[in-house]
Amino acid sequence: MKEFFKKYQNYIWVAAYIILTVLSFIFGFNPGKSIFTNFTQSFVEMITFVPFLFIIVGLFDVWVPKEKIQQHIGQESGVKGIVLMVLLAMLQAGPLYGAFPVAYLLYRKGASIRNIFIYLGAFSSMKIPMLGIEIGYLGIEFSLARTLVSLPLFIGIGYLMEWYLKNRHFEVRDGSQ
């Protein structure tokens, strides 16, 4: 029963909302009606741009070869290494904890400590699908300002971590323990 709820949680939530809204309209429950007006507005806002964003993301996914970039990680250092790391991070999707296994892979491939932390920073806030949705909801000015302020800070954190972990025998583990 508990598992059933967990699995269908999102559907149950939406179904319950639809039922309550229909009841609100039948019985003339005003808060229900106002909430529905709010919902319609945000739904229209969402459905008129998010599906198109995913078309763009899907096309990016097939045209920009993530694997190819990954091959160069570790060999390139300096500015080129940083640019590649940020680019690779931007092509990913998903929550930050999904980036830890990738960080381990990059470490095994010889990426520097600095670049691994730059990767985590860029992963957390510059993924293309997320930037798209951010522009849609908060505007291009917000997105640009946030990205341009964040980027130097991540790079700074990368350098700071490298300096801090020098001679400390730091290694990224595979997460199994």
Partner 1 sequence: MSSNAIIFITLSAVLSGVSFFLDRKKTLTGFKRGWKMFRNVLFPFLGILILVSVLLYFIPPNVISQYLGANSGVIGFSIAALVGSVTLIPGFISYPIAAGLIQQGASYAVVATFMTTLMMVGVVTLPLEIRYFGKTVAITRNVLNFVAALIIGLVVGLILGLIS
Query: Which run of H or of E encompasses 118?
Result: helix 113-125
Whichever of 59 and 83 has its CB closer to partner 1, that residue is 59
Whichever of 78 and 95 has its CB closer to partner 1, that residue is 95
In the complex, what is the shortest distance from the CB of residue 133 to partner 1, in angstroms, rounded to a whole number? 5
Residues in the chain: 177
In the complex, what is the shortest distance from the CB of residue 110 to partner 1, in angstroms, rounded to a whole number? 17
Beta bridge partners of 73: 76
In the complex, what is the shortest distance from the CB of residue 30 to partner 1, in angstroms, rounded to a whole number? 10
In the complex, what is the shortest distance from the CB of residue 138 to partner 1, in angstroms, rounded to a whole number? 6
Nearest to 155 by CA among 117, 129, 124, 128: 117
- Residue 90: partners with Cβ closer than 8 Å, 6 or more residues away: 122, 126, 127, 128, 131
Whichever of 69 and 161 has its CB closer to partner 1, that residue is 161
CA atoms lying within 13 Å on the CB side of residue 134: 15
- Residue 76's SS3 state is strand
Whichever of 24 and 77 has its CB closer to partner 1, that residue is 24
